[in-house]
Amino acid sequence: MPSRYLTTGKAASLLAVTPDTVLKWIRSGRLPALRTAGGHHRIDRRDLDRIISDTADTHNRPGAPPSKRPFEYCWQFYGNGSLPERCRGCAVYEMRAYRCYEVAKRAPQSGHLKAFCQNSCDECEYYRLVHEQRINVLVVTDDELLTESLARDAKYGDFNLEFANCEYVCSSKITNFRPDFAIVDCSLGHDVSSDISHHMVEDSRIPSVRVILAGMDDEFPKECDKEVFARMLRPFGIKEISAIIKGLQKGGGIKPEASG
C-alpha cells in the first residue's frame, strides 16, 4: 500500500494511545480503516489527521478563552525545541523550572548557568515572550457536573483550561493545546486513569507535562506513583488547581503525597 497508509501500531504511536484502543475506534466506526489481503487494518494518514483536527474543534467549549502560544522552557526556545549542549547541567533544566528568571532571582546560588542570559531580563527575547504567558491545563474527566463547574469558574484562574472526556479526545486535544498540566480524574476507572497517565508521560508532543491525579484515597492507581507529579482529592475546583501551579512556580515542585 502507499506510504500514507499506517498500521494500527503507527497510528497508535501518533495518537499516543495503545494499538488496542485504535482497534476499538476502528470497530466502532470512529476511525475509518481499510483491510489488507492478509486481514490487517490500514489507516489513511489523511483520515487520521482529519479526525484529530475535527475532534479537537468539536470539543472546544463555547466561550472558553482561546489557547495562547504553547509554553516553552528557555532551553527549548533557544534550542529550537531541543536541548542545547551548554544547557546540560543547568539548574533550570535539572529542575524543569517553568521560569528561568525566577530561579535566578529566588535561588541565585542554585547552579543557574545563564547560558543565554543578557545583562538584564528585560533585554532577553525569551523573557519578553513568556513572563506573562498563561499556563495550559487539560482536565480529563467524564463528570459533566465537574466540567461545567470548572468551565464556569475558569475566569478566576490564571491559566488556559481545556477538557477531554476520554482517551481519544485527550490525544486529540494534545495536538493543538499542548498542556503544561494534565489533571486525570480517577473516577474514569482504575485502568483508564492509569493508561491515560502513562500515555501522557510518554507522549513526545508534551515532554514536560505534569500529570496530576484527582480522586478519593482508594481510587489512585499505585502503579502511577512514579509518573504523576501530584495528587489531589476530589471534588476540586479552580482554587485547588491554582494552588498546585503556584506551588511549582514558587518552590520548584510539590511532592505527590503533600498535595490535596
Q: What is the pLDDT of residues 188-225, one digit of tens each?
A: 998 899 999 988 888 877 777 889 999 988 888 888 77
What span, in angstroms and rounded, lies between the C-alpha atoms of 140 and 163?
6
Confidence class for position 28, pLDDT limits 50, 70, 90: confident
Q: Delineate the domains of the chain, giving CATH numbers in brackets.
A: 5-57 (1.10.1660.10), 74-130 (no CATH), 134-258 (3.40.50.2300)
Q: What angle do CA 79, 80, 81 make, to 5 degrees?
A: 90
Give me the DSSP letters along 177-204: H--SEEEEEGGG-HHHHHHHHHHHHH-T
Judge whether 205 and 186 are in contact, CB under 8 Å: no
Give residue 52's pLDDT band: very low, low, confident or very high (50, 70, 90): low
Task: Report the C-alpha gap between 163 and 177 in whole angstroms.
Answer: 10
CB 196 within 8 A of CB 166: no
